[in-house]
Structure 1
Amino acid sequence: MKLILTIFTFLLMAKECDTNKASLSSNTSNNNVEKTTDMEKVQKDITLVYNANSRGFFEEIVVTIDSITIYTNRNKTNPTKVACSTEDWNSCMTLLETIEVKKLPSLEAPTKMRHYDGAAHATLTIKNKEESYQTSTFDHGHPPQEIKAIVDRILLFKKDKIKH
């Protein structure tokens, strides 16, 4: 009788474990879908803005999940706008993940040519729905090392995507 009770208990426990594994597997896949959906929602709210200007020069490149917009005058009239491909957006998001966004305001410029009109003043701003983080001013074309990759990528959009 003890043997039958023991076998019955083991069978019952094994069935419970299978049920729990199936439930856990289902919850994990649901969590992954929710994380992906949350990440997509966050990415839709992100805007990258690169601004460079001096007395005779103005350039602002605005990158969103949908478009790349380039302004070449301070009035922001007649912008050039093209679609932002998924590949381009994902490359920006990958580069953005390597940046500590909250430290943007404290990054130091590697050069100071803008102090004597040797280069235009530039900033990078990263915006989402709730917050905005902007770098201190640096020389156009010479960003701090921490943001160099993403700034170069944004500037490449103008060169590759926009035909003047």
Structure 2
Amino acid sequence: MKIFSLLLLTIFIGSGCSSQKKTDMSGTQIEYSATSRGYYKKVVVENQTASVVNARNEEAVTIKIDEAKWKKIVAEFEKINLDSISTLKGPTEKRFYDGAAIGNLKVIQNQKTYETNGFDNGFPPKKIEKLVNLLVDFMKE
């Protein structure tokens, strides 16, 4: 009986801890920008809102993110190892000859900034591709 009680308690405590593994996004800011000589787009996602700038010297447009899309963003964000994003390499190098705008992903979490090296807009590194594509969707709206 003691073993059964101990086993049940262990399972209960373990399942309680696993629910706390959800990423707290309240203090997290995710920014994606794409720039070249004649092109500028930027989206900043924070607290279920997206601020989108579609041109230099333009005011940001704020968009409320619906619950379903927010869950997708959080799910993709949880898959990323922030400490390693600065080492990610894009699959193409069109930006070197003006064939693509320079894309950049920046995450600010707990007063610490994580940033990728530049990559071709439209061709992000595989490990962040789904998150970047979710952010780029706001630029199209």
Residue 37 (structure 2) aligns with: 55
- Give unpaired runs (5+ residues) of structure 2: none
Query: Normalising to structure 2: TM-score of the pair?
Result: 0.83
Report the CA distance shift for 1:120/1:33 in structure 2 as closer, same or farther (over 3 A).
Answer: closer
Structure with greater strand share of residues: 2
Residue 35 (structure 1) aligns with: 20
> Residue 113 of structure 1: which of 94, 97, 100 is its match?
94
TM superposition shift of 1:28: 3.3
Q: Determine helix, strand or coil for the equivalent of 1:152.
A: helix
- Give the 4+ runs in structure 1 shifted more than 6 A: none
Structure 2 residue identity aligned to 1:45 = G
RMSD: 2.7
Identity in percent: 25
> In the alignment, does 2:69 pair up with 1:88?
yes
TM superposition shift of 1:130: 2.4
Residue 46 (structure 1) aligns with: 28
Q: Determine helix, strand or coil for the equivalent of 1:44.
A: coil
What do the CA deviations read for 1:89-126 (whole angstroms, capped 9, x no partner)?
11011111222211111111211111111110110111
Partners in 2 of 1:34 and 1:109 — Cα distance?
34
Partners in 2 of 1:115 and 1:31 — Cα distance?
50
> Residue 53 of structure 2: which of 67, 71, 75 is its match?
71
Instruction: Answer yes or no: is the 8 Å Cα contact 1:112–1:139 preserved in 2.
Output: yes
- Size of the aligned set, in residue pairs, is 141
Partners in 2 of 1:80 and 1:130 — Cα distance?
25
Residue 140 (structure 1) aligns with: 121
Instruction: Answer yes or no: is the 8 Å Cα contact 2:101–2:121 preserved in 1.
Output: yes
TM superposition shift of 1:31: 4.4
Report the CA distance shift for 1:104/1:30 in structure 2 as closer, same or farther (over 3 A).
Answer: closer
